[in-house]
Structures are given as structure tokens and as C-alpha cells.
Structure 1
Amino acid sequence: MVEIERKFLVKSEDFKEQAFTQNKIAQGYLSSIPERTVRVRIKGTRGFLTIKGIGHQGGMSRFEWENEIPLEEAQELLKLCEKGKIEKTRFEIKSGNHIFEVDEFYGENEGLIMAEIELKSETETFERPEWLGEEVTNDERYYNAYLSKNPFKDWKNN
């Protein structure tokens, strides 16, 4: 139940032609405090409820629990969420033995494209696609819970 993940900015849209899936995602937060974020997500036609704990030192790993819930329940729970909905398209791209999830954001976070990779350990190596840019794993501004309250379009120095 521990998620080990690294986050990167994406420097070109070349990833799109390599994607084997893409899904629209809408999500909100019932709780966005770092010690326990509670997220409601609709991905395509499926609903999910996710609870995440605070990140370990370095921000690469943290507790994560996720369960699929009926779509109708997810739609109703989204209505109860804190202000600031995240809208994005997620593209999945195979790179070596790993899969990158690349999120292209819309709405208040238009212009932001980020890639995430889940690893089995914090020291695991992986192939870096050429479209992968600067690592932002340790930068809390790039957490979706932060983006829901402090949209990318409002950043002074992006």
C-alpha cells in the first residue's frame, strides 16, 4: 500500500503518438491536507476513491489506498468536494519495462503537462524518454491537491 512515484515536467507533445491509452479524468478532494488527502476521481466511465498519506522524506513514496466505486457514487461525491476541480487527459506510454502516465491539464491548469512513473523502489532505474523534462517529484506545487487550490494559470513564475 505504499506508492513510489517520480514526477516530471514534459517538454514536448511527442509522447502523444506513443500513447497506447488515453482517458479523460475529473477529480476533486474531500480532504486536501497533506497528512491525508481523500480524492474522488472519474476516469472515463469508472469512479474511484483514493486516500493518500503524507509523503516520506524526499516526496517519492507515501501510503496510498484506492478502490473502485460506482460511477453514480463518484459523481455525487464530486459535488461534496472542496473548491477546485482537476480536469485532465491521461495518456499511458510504455517505456522499457515501465509505463509513464502523462497528464495534460485543462481548465484552471491549462498548459501544464506532467509525467509520472511508479517504481518498485526509490532507487529503481528506468529509461528516460526524450520528451521527459525536469524532475519535480519534491516540488509540492505539482501535487494535484495543490493544483486544485493554486491553479497553474495563477503561478507568477511558471
Structure 2
Amino acid sequence: MGKEIERKFLVKGEFRNLAHKKTRITQGYLCSVPERTVRVRTKGDHGYITIKGIGNESGASRYEWEKEISVEEVHDLLKICEPGVIDKTRYQVKAGPHTFEVDEFYGENQGLIVAEVELSSEDENFEKPGWLGEEVTGITKYYNSMLMKHPFTKW
């Protein structure tokens, strides 16, 4: 918990064969205003509720709080979420000392693949694998809370 520092990129090449783990994720938003997003999600056979604050100027850093809840509780809360559930597979791909989380979206966001890397500081160096595309850190239309309202297939 605390501050989260992430950089976000589009994916332009093949990464699936490099992944050491993949998990199906379904999530909805109880609140999606930028100042405080409240998300519920199932991640494999686990459930979570997550609250995120607004990002800093660069969009790379923001407050995050998360708590594990039951999958049943997530399914109950999804019934009262805002319209537009996010459905994706998350792949974990190592690159040097870092692990990229690569999300491949389905449904109304089909065709979008985004990679995130978590860093200990905003200026930390990290290996950029060949499949990594354009950086989209801080571009709000790529946030899951925005993809729910304005899906990729409608851009």
C-alpha cells in the first residue's frame, strides 16, 4: 500500500511465449472519478477491492490501497458497479530485474494490449524489451477506468 510508480506502454510485438504466468481478470468500478477510483476484481480465484487516488503531474505515481475480499463479494459488488466491466488476461513477463504486467483486453476493448512496469522511483532505469511500443504513461484514455466508459473499439 502507499504510493505506486508505474510506466505504461503499448505492445507492438510478440510477448506471450516469454510470459511465466498468466491470469484472467474481470473488474468493475464502483467509482471511476479520477480523484478516487474504487475497483473490484477477480484475479484467477481471488477477489480484491482497490482504491486509487489521483495521479501526480507525470501520471506515473499515485496512492493505492488494496484489500483481498471473497470472489462472492466481488460478484455481489459487480452488480452495483458502473456500466462497462473490464475483461482481460494479464501476462507476467520478466525483462532484466523487472517484471512487466501485460494486459490483453477482450470484449469492447479487444485489440488493445498494454504493458506496465512498476518502479521504485520515477527516473529508475529499466530494460525495454523489443516488443514494447510507444509509452502512454499518464494518458488517461488508457486507464482501465476510462476504457470502461470509452472502449478501445469505439476510438
- For normalisation by structure 2, the TM-score amounts to 0.98
Give the aligned partner of residue 93 of structure 1.
93
Query: SS at 1:76's partner residue?
Result: helix
Give the aligned partner of residue 46 of structure 1.
46
Residues of 1 paired with 2:40 and 2:141: CA distance? 20
Given the alignment of the two structures, is residue 63 of structure 1 paired with residue 97 of structure 2, yes or no?
Answer: no
Give the aligned partner of residue 133 of structure 1.
133
Shift of 1:71: 1.0
Residues of 2 paired with 1:120 and 1:79: CA distance? 36
Residue identity in the other structure for 2:15: F
Could you list the structure 1 runs, at least 4 aligned residues long, displaced by more than 4 angstroms after superposition. Answer: none
Query: SS at 1:146's partner residue?
Result: helix
Residue identity in the other structure for 1:128: K
Structure 1 unmatched runs, 5+ = none
Residue identity in the other structure for 1:106: Y
1:72-107 Cα shifts (integer Å, max 9, x gaps) = 111111111000110000000111110000000000
Give the aligned partner of residue 10 of structure 1.
11
Give the aligned partner of residue 28 of structure 1.
28
Give the aligned partner of residue 106 of structure 1.
106
Query: SS at 1:32's partner residue?
Result: strand
1:96-121 Cα shifts (integer Å, max 9, x gaps) = 11000000000000000000000000
Give the aligned partner of residue 84 of structure 1.
84
- For normalisation by structure 1, the TM-score amounts to 0.96
Residues of 2 paired with 1:151 and 1:140: CA distance? 12
Shift of 1:138: 1.9
Shift of 1:3: 0.4
- Please give the root-mean-square deviation of Cα atoms over the aligned residues, in Å: 0.5
1:24-64 Cα shifts (integer Å, max 9, x gaps) = 10000000000000000101111000000000011000000
Count of aligned pairs: 154
